[in-house]
A and B are shown apart, each in its own frame.
Chain A
C-alpha cells in the first residue's frame, strides 16, 4: 500500500515540460530573427509560453518544495513557497490573458508591469514572513526531518528550474518593456551577469549545505 507505481513523478514531468517550452521559445525566437513568421504572432507566442512556464513553475513550487532544503531554518518555508506559488500562478495566468486578448503593444507593457509587481510582491511577502517568524510569535517549528537522498536531488532539480524560470521571466519582462530601445542590449547583459553571479553563489551554498544541516538537526 505504501508504494504506488501509477504515480508519475511530478519532478520528471516538470523537467520535460520546461524543456519543451524552452525549445518552443527558441524556435519562435529563431523564426523571428530569420523573419520567417511575422513579428506580432511570434511575440504573442513567446509571451504566452513565458506565461505558461510561470504557471507551471508556480503550480509545482509548493508541491516539490525546492526551497525547504536551503537557507535558514526559522523561515516558515512552506508558507513562503505556497504564497510564491499562488502569486506566480495568478501572474502567469494574467500574463497569458494579456498576450491573448490585449493589443500587442499594450500587452507588452502591462504584462511586464504585472511580472515586476509580482516578483516584488513575492520578495516582500517572503521578507515579511521571515521577519514575523524571527521577531513575533513563536511559530510551530517545521517538523521536517532530513529528506531522503532522492527527494533532495529532486528538490535541487526543481530549484534550478525555478531559478531558470525566474531568469527567463525577468529577461522577458525587460525585453517586452525596453526591447525597442537601443539601451536594451546593455540591460539584458546586466541581467545575465546578475543571474550568473547568483548562480555561482547559490551553487556554492547548495553544495556546502548537507554538512551544515546535519550538524543543525542532530
Chain B
C-alpha cells in the first residue's frame, strides 16, 4: 500500500501528472498531450497512479476523466519528492522493467 505510493511518486512524469491534476480534473488525452511520451507509456503511468490510489478514473463518454485523490500525507510526500527530485524506493532500471512489464507492446 505505502510502497505503491512511493513507487508512484518516484517518477517525475507521474509527479507532473499529479501537479496538473491539482488544478482540476483532466481527461487522459489532455493529460497525455502535455508530455512528449507515447500514449501507451502514459496509460502505464496512469495505471501506476490509479493502483496507488492517488487518482481515480471516471468514464465520461469516450474519454477517461482523471481526478486527484490524495490525502494530506500523500501530498506532503509529493512535495517532498519534488523538492529533492528523489527517486524513492526504486532505481531507474527497476522502473524501466516495471513499465515494460505493464506495457508489453511498447
Contacts and interface: CB of A to CB of B under 8 A. Distances in A.
A60 B4 CA distance: 18
Name the interface size band of chain A.
Answer: 20 to 34
Name the interface size band of chain B.
Answer: 20 to 34
Interface string A5-25: 011101000000000000000
B24 A140 contact: yes
- Interface centre among B4, B26, B71, by most chain A C-beta atoms within 10 angstroms, is B71
Contacts of A173: none
Contacts of A4: 50-51
Interface in B56-82: 58, 60, 65, 67-75
B60 A143 contact: yes
A7 to B, nearest CB: 6
B71 A1 contact: no
B14 to A, nearest CB: 16
B1 A63 contact: no
A92 to B, nearest CB: 10
B40 interface: no
A144 interface: yes
Contacts of A80: none
Contacts of B102: 1
B24 A85 contact: no
Contacts of A63: 53, 69-71, 74
A61 B72 CA distance: 8
Contact of A7 (B1, B71, B74): B1
B23 interface: yes
Contacts, number: 58
Query: Taking chain B's interface residues, is the majority helix, strand, or loop, or is none over half, making it mixed?
Result: mixed
A4 B49 CA distance: 12
A59 B1 CA distance: 16
Contact of B72 (A2, A89, A147): A89
Contacts of B70: 62-63
Contact of A85 (B4, B60, B72): B72
What are the 3 tightest A-B residue pairs by CB atom distance, in nearest-first order? A63-B71, A140-B24, A59-B72
Interface of A: 1-2, 4, 6-8, 10, 58-63, 65, 78, 82, 85-86, 89, 139-140, 142-145, 147
12 contacts: A1-B47, A1-B102, A2-B50, A7-B1, A10-B53, A82-B75, A85-B72, A139-B24, A143-B25, A144-B25, A145-B65, A147-B58
Given A4-B51, A7-B1, A143-B25, 20 more contacts: A1-B51, A6-B1, A8-B1, A10-B71, A59-B71, A59-B72, A60-B71, A62-B71, A62-B72, A63-B69, A63-B70, A78-B67, A85-B72, A86-B72, A89-B73, A142-B24, A143-B26, A143-B60, A143-B65, A147-B58
